[in-house]
Amino acid sequence: MELSEEKEVTDKDIPDPIIKKVSSFPSMPRAAIKLRELLAKEDVAVDEIVEILRHDPGLATNVLRLANSAFFGVPKKVETLKHAVMLLGIKRFAQIAVSASMSKTMDKAVEGYDQSPGGLWLHSIAVSTTAEALGRHKKFAETNDFFTPALLHDMGKLVLGEFVKKELQKIKSITAKGVPLDLAENMVLGTDHAEIGALILSKWSLPFDIVNAVRWHHCPERTENSNIQSDIVYLSNQMFQSNANSDSANGHFAMPSSVVLKRMGIKFDQYKAMAKKAHHWMEKLSGELTFD
């Protein structure tokens, strides 16, 4: 189903078995909802954030693990939640807390996409942090939320994975001809993981700009009008689709859309340097961080 940028995401034309899976998909974790509500306020007290986490000891532990990873560059060991807020700032800490709260939903093995338990979550953390950094670099971060759509960009895989697994050979035969994965999914399944992810987030009542960025995270150049969130989530995700250290432009290094690079004012050499740095961050994260 093709959607223009301005249209709401609906389940029209999506096969019924897939819609049923979307309908039974878990709600957004309660802690994540509360944290997002707090972030929407102009003034948030540190104790308000800490209080949410105190009611979930497992979540609090995971937040501290994530905050203490070298991936986030904290200069010294974080001992308490309040200490983490003081070092990271309220916005950054809340983002980390939302990320940790999503781990229970996203740490599963993903059928059809060859992702082991925890793989999707680690990839999502890497992409969200990269998107936030890219937004700051382009001076868009103050007025746009890049972290949330980047964190949740692959949620649709959790639903679509079992359907991809059943039709994997058909999909692979299409992608082998150079067709992008999302288009191959659409050709075989009648939808793709980006559309399903957007539908999930729409059912979670997340803002349309976040839903829209997830919907177009593989193909922002197909939208009728440019969207900075879609462009940044796309580029950040693209950086992790291949070996960033390869000099090959065919098969080893995923070439980004020249349309998006031009729209963002980023030269290819700049993009490639960013991709190498992002891969270095990912290696730090995957090497250090494991959740129970």
Asked, for residue 257, whether it belongs to a domain, the answer is: yes
Predicted confidence (pLDDT) per residue in 59-71, tens digit: 888 888 888 876 6
Asked, for residue 9, whether it belongs to a domain, the answer is: no
Asked, for residue 191, whether it belongs to a domain, the answer is: yes
Domain count of the fold of the chain: 1
Which residue segment(s) compose the domain that 208 sits in?
Answer: 16-26+107-288
Predicted confidence (pLDDT) per residue in 68-119, tens digit: 876 666 667 888 888 888 878 887 888 888 888 888 888 888 989 988 888 8
3-state class (DSSP) for residue 110: strand
Contact 46, 90 (CB under 8 A): yes
What pLDDT is attached to residue 249? 39
3-state class (DSSP) for residue 120: helix
Contact 271, 263 (CB under 8 A): no
**Percent of the chain's residues with pLDDT above 90:** 31
Residues 6+ apart with CB under 8 A from 215: 3, 9, 194, 195, 197, 198, 230
Q: What is the DSSP string of 121-154?
A: HHHHHHHHHHHHHHHHHTT-TTT---HHHHHTTT
Asked, for residue 22, whether it belongs to a domain, the answer is: yes
Supply the CATH number for residue 205's domain: 1.10.3210.10
What pLDDT is attached to residue 70? 64
Task: Return left, alpha or beta for 145; rule: phi > 0 is left, psi -120 to 50 is alpha, else beta.
Answer: beta
Asked, for residue 6, whether it belongs to a domain, the answer is: no
**Cβ neighbours, 10 Å, residue 117:** 11
Asked, for residue 80, whether it belongs to a domain, the answer is: no
Contact 159, 21 (CB under 8 A): yes
Contact 78, 64 (CB under 8 A): yes
The structure tokens listed for 72 are: 């986030």
What pLDDT is attached to residue 6? 43
Q: Which ranges of the chain have pLDDT less than 70? A: 1-12, 70-75, 141-142, 223-226, 242-253, 284-292
Asked, for residue 267, whether it belongs to a domain, the answer is: yes
Asked, for residue 98, whether it belongs to a domain, the answer is: no
Predicted confidence (pLDDT) per residue in 27-49, tens digit: 888 888 888 887 777 777 778 88
What pLDDT is attached to residue 244? 47
